Amino acid sequence: MLLSERMLNALNEQVKIEAESSQVYLAVASWLETQPGLEGYTEFFYKQSDEERHHMLKFMHYINDRDGHAIIPALAMPQNNYQQVIDVFRDFLKNELEVSQSINNLVELALNEKDYLTFKFLQWYLDEQLEEEKMAKTMLEKLELVGSDRGGVYQLDKDIVGLRKKVSDTKEEGED
């Protein structure tokens, strides 16, 4: 079954959204790497960038497997500087909420077009976005609790590695 032109265009737009997310998180990781003592946050966002690229590739393969043509988009330059770590996590949550809305729109389109293969494909992304939003919200809430306390920000930098591992382990358990 071929993708409708409308679905193909929407999926290719999602390729761009995933690529932009990867690019944004790569820029965040680079900025964090220049800040002293923030190795945990840095590692977190490098991995986040890789994960978003993986999401993009899944969309591309799906499009091509359905006899569409995945288009490689041009990307705008992401923000490269932040005032504080908390600003990074505000943007992280905002971005993940936007990605979730985009996935929801794709699900709605798939249902409206009775494209049940795409609907099934998108279920993984719905679960993924739930985890991404939860992780971003949790880290932002923790950073809001510690405020500008450098010791608290430092401790959370160490904790984020464990949070990422916990979420990764949960994802791996659910993939069986």
Residues 136 and 160: their CA atoms lie apart, in Å, by 11
On whether 123 is known to bind a ligand per the annotation, the reply is no
* Rg value, the chain, Cα: 17
Q: Report whether 2 contacts 67 (CB < 8 A).
A: yes
The structure tokens listed for 73 are 């988009």
Residues 37 and 65: their CA atoms lie apart, in Å, by 44
On whether 129 is known to bind a ligand per the annotation, the reply is yes
On whether 54 is known to bind a ligand per the annotation, the reply is no
Q: Report whether 22 contacts 49 (CB < 8 A).
A: yes
Residues 40 and 160: their CA atoms lie apart, in Å, by 6
Residues 6+ apart with CB under 8 A from 98: 17
Residues annotated within a binding site for Fe cation: 18, 52, 55, 96, 129
Residues annotated within a binding site: 18, 52, 55, 96, 129
